[in-house]
């Protein structure tokens, strides 16, 4: 492993300079990436932004902070440090040395997994491109751009793997990653949730809480991969991903905090009258983002995922901490099911139920957010509570795709759903109201009326720091 060289065109810790062919291939992809960034990335013109840039992967500091023009951001290629003698932790190859090269028999599957992960990274940048125009503060604007540049770096991470390990097909896939676009009619992004708009900051905070968190769990399974370069890539991406989770978690915290403040101060549930977001509207956005994110985990059962596991391509969340045989050939799992029109559970082989296993880990994690937000309401002396909707609510994928259910899991007829879903999902009136709140606040130390300021700034800087210089 080489130490990163920042003088190079593409900063990296993969000794790119020793592989001229690969270096040239990536350098010829680089201008296409920059064109994509200029045309599909953030639309708000800026001079520079106070950004974190990955410069190393070691324990003693992996990032540096400074004001940089976004187009000069150093998107680099970083893999976590190798663990010497790493062994495969699960599946048919358990105990064998991890692979440094792609085994021919798994080439197509590994490429597919990398492409699907890679596709989500630029997609979210595209979804969020107009948010700068309505940023509630310079601090939030900076966080948006931080997430954006790092999703760009995650695209680099996947493109590096495609170029380095999948030959001509890999290079073609890397081009395709720039050609598909979020919401495009003829070349959409691969996964549904990544073709939804992120039109406002309430959606952005919900997206970074719920949808980026799906990404965290997907990366967690790829981090277990027997294919060591993929494992190490994902391990480092997870480090950056933690900040994206932070933006979502604290974004919703601060929204709820502000709403609670207004409700207490004016002794009313009508937060809207005082420029804050009413709790029922926050709940509707939560319902939407949570349910579309549950769909990202796929069907309750999947033979593909069972095969990926057995082959060693993709493990479970925290695979090595699990106390079982890491083969799962004799185990079962209860998965959600619809039987005779009733919401119930049914037992299937553990291997085919791995999507359910991962989704459950994710749901437990999401419950943590709801607990936090309810603590804020409780602390303000309010009896109101937020809640995760039932897994059957608003699903387009899996056992519940064919039915409609309420957030409490009551099965509804199509007529009932039609009549009542405006209580549970954002309506055009809600969206118009949210849009009316989205006015940019670009003065240092100021913040929009619907959001509480953060407790701390970024990297020890105060909230009123000049995080962004607009053009
Ligand atoms: Fe990412
Ligand atoms: Fe992310």
Task: For residue 151, report the distance from its CA to the centre of ligand 2, in Å.
Answer: 6
The ligand whose atoms approach the alpha carbon of 213 most closely is 2
* Ligand number, closest to the Cα atom of 244: 2
Mean pLDDT of 134-156: 97
- pLDDT-derived band at 238 (thresholds 50, 70, 90) equals very high
- The bound ligand whose nearest atom lies closest to the alpha carbon of 219 is 1
User: From the CA of 247, which ligand is nearest?
Assistant: 2
User: Residue 435 in 3-state DSSP?
Assistant: helix
In degrees, to the nearest 5, what angle opens at C-alpha 313 toward C-alphas 311 and 314? 115
CA of 29 from ligand 2 middle (Å) equals: 22
Distance 41 CA to ligand 1 centre (A): 15
CA of 273 to the centre of ligand 2 (A): 34
Distance 140 CA to ligand 1 centre (A): 18
Q: Higher confidence at residue 5 or residue 133?
A: 133
Query: Ligand 1 mean position to 114 CA, how many Å?
Result: 12
- Whether 1 shows a pLDDT value over 60: the answer reads no
Ligand closest to CA 121: 1
Ligand 1 centroid–CA 148 distance in Å is 9
- Please write the tens of the pLDDT for every residue from 399-430: 999 999 999 999 999 999 999 999 999 999 99
Q: Does 2 have pLDDT greater than 60? A: no
Number of H helices, E strands in the chain: 12, 7
Q: Ligand 1 centroid vs 166 CA: distance in angstroms?
A: 21
180-203: pLDDT as tens digits: 999 999 999 999 889 988 999 999
pLDDT band at 4 (very low <50, low <70, confident <90, very high): low
Confidence at residue 88, expressed as pLDDT on a 0 to 100 scale: 98
By the 8 A CB rule, do 422 and 283 touch? no
Annotate 249-267 with DSSP letters as a single string: HHHHHHHHHHHHHHHHHTT
* Mean of per-residue pLDDT scores for the chain: 96
Q: What are phi and psi of 291, to 5 degrees?
A: -70, -40
For 320-371, what is each residue's pLDDT tens digit? 999 999 999 999 999 999 999 999 999 999 999 999 999 999 999 999 999 9
CA of 241 to the centre of ligand 1 (A): 6
- Give the Cα separation of 351 and 354 in Å (integer): 6
For the entire predicted model, the pTM comes to 0.96
Q: Tell me the ligand closest to 245's alpha carbon.
A: 2
Q: Does the pLDDT value for residue 289 go beyond 90?
A: yes
The two three-digit tokens of residue 114, written as one number: 């990398």
Ligand 2 mean position, distance from CA 12 (Å) = 20
Å from CA of 241 to ligand 2 middle? 5
Query: If you measure from the C-alpha of residue 240 to the centroid of ligand 1, how many angstroms do you get, rounded to a whole number?
Result: 8
Nearest-5° angle of CA 312, CA 315, CA 316?
160
Ligand 2 centroid to residue 125 C-alpha, Å: 10
pLDDT for 3 equals: 59
Give 32-77 pLDDT, tens digit per residue: 999 999 999 999 999 999 999 988 777 666 789 999 999 999 999 9
Q: How far apart are CA 251 and CA 169, in angstroms?
A: 40
Q: pLDDT value at position 62?
A: 79
The number of the ligand nearest the C-alpha atom of 242 reads 2
């Amino acid at each position: 492993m080489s130490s990163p060289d920042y003088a190079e065109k593409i900063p990296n810790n993969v000794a790119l300079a020793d592989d001229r062919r690969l270096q040239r291939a990536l350098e010829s992809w680089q201008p296409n990436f920059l064109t994509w960034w200029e045309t599909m990335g953030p639309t708000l013109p800026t001079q520079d932004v106070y950004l974190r840039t990955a410069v190393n992967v070691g324990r003693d500091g992996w990032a540096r902070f400074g004001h940089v023009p976004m187009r000069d951001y150093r998107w680099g290629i970083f893999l976590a440090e190798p663990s010497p003698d790493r062994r495969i932790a699960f599946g048919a190859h358990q105990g064998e040395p991890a692979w440094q090269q792609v085994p021919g028999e798994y080439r197509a599957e590994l490429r597919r997994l990398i492409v699907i992960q890679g596709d989500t990274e630029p997609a979210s940048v595209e979804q969020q491109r107009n948010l700068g125009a309505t940023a509630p503060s310079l601090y939030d604007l900076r966080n948006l751009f931080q997430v954006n540049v790092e999703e760009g770096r995650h695209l680099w991470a996947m493109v590096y793997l495609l170029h380095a390990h999948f030959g001509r097909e890999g290079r073609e896939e890397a081009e395709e990653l720039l050609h598909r676009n979020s919401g495009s009619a003829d070349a959409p992004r691969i996964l549904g949730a990544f073709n939804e708009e992120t039109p406002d900051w309430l959606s952005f905070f919900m997206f970074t809480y719920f949808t980026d968190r799906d990404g965290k769990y997907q990366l967690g399974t790829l981090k277990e991969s027997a294919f060591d370069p993929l494992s190490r890539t994902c391990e480092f991406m997870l480090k950056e991903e933690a900040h994206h989770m932070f933006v979502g978690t604290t974004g919703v915290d601060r929204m709820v905090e502000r709403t609670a403040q207004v409700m207490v101060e004016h002794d009313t549930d009508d937060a809207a009258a005082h420029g804050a977001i009413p709790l029922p509207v926050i709940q509707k956005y939560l319902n939407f983002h949570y349910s579309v994110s549950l769909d990202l985990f796929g069907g309750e059962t999947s033979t593909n995922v069972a095969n990926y596991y057995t082959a060693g391509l993709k493990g479970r969340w925290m695979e090595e901490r699990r106390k079982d045989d890491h083969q799962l050939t004799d185990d079962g799992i209860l998965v959600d099911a619809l039987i005779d029109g009733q919401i119930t559970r049914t037992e299937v082989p553990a291997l085919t139920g791995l999507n359910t296993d991962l989704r459950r880990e994710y749901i437990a994690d999401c419950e943590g957010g709801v607990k936090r937000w309810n603590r804020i309401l409780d602390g303000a002396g309010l009896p109101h509570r937020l809640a995760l909707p039932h897994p059957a609510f608003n699903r387009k994928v899996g056992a519940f795709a064919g039915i409609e259910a309420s957030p409490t899991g009551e099965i509804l007829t199509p007529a009932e759903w039609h009549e009542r879903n405006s209580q549970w999902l954002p309506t055009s009136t809600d969206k118009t109201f949210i849009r009316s709140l989205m006015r940019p606040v670009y003065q240092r130390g100021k913040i929009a009326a619907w959001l509480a300021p953060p407790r701390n700034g970024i990297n020890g800087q105060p909230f009123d720091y000049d995080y962004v210089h607009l053009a």
